[in-house]
Amino acid sequence: MLGNHSYTHDNMLHMSESVIRWELALTEQLTQEAYPGATTKPLLRAPFGAINDTVVRVANSEGYHTIGWTVDSRDWDDGITAEIIYERVTTQACPGAIIAFHDVNPANAAALPHLLDFFERNGYQFVTVSEIMSP
């Protein structure tokens, strides 16, 4: 499942309702042009996790549910290593956690196999965000 993360990756807290709608609509349009039949709905993770009542209201009116994370790997920090990512994630994770990762740092590739082993050894199950959100 895809989700919407905006077109410009700007902080939505400082956007007007019309600009937020544009961000969502353009991302959805480009997704459908690139992958006919695909959609970013119903998930929106606002850049930086920056949401307020306006962002949530506009997102809801456009058919989105805003989501965030409960564990931030901070994998975008300068000088981040696989060891730091592993320690940060394993000490903060709990059942139902949503862990934020990005694809910008090779340290993630090194940390991920160890994280997956840790979670499997400790009885965690891997599910989609949609599965977490469903009643």
- The SS3 assignment for 100 reads strand
Q: Give the amino acid at 74.
A: R
Residue 123 φ/ψ region, left for φ over 0, alpha for ψ in the -120 to 50 degree band, beta for the rest: left
One domain, residues 85 and 126 = yes
Predicted structure pTM score: 0.84
One domain, residues 79 and 104 = yes
Inform me whether the pLDDT recorded for 70 exceeds 80.
yes
User: pLDDT tens digits, residue range 14-42?
Assistant: 999 999 999 999 999 999 999 999 999 99
* Domain span holding position 45: 12-66
User: pLDDT tens digits, residue range 71-86?
Assistant: 999 998 889 999 999 9
One domain, residues 22 and 49 = yes
Inform me whether the pLDDT recorded for 90 exceeds 80.
yes
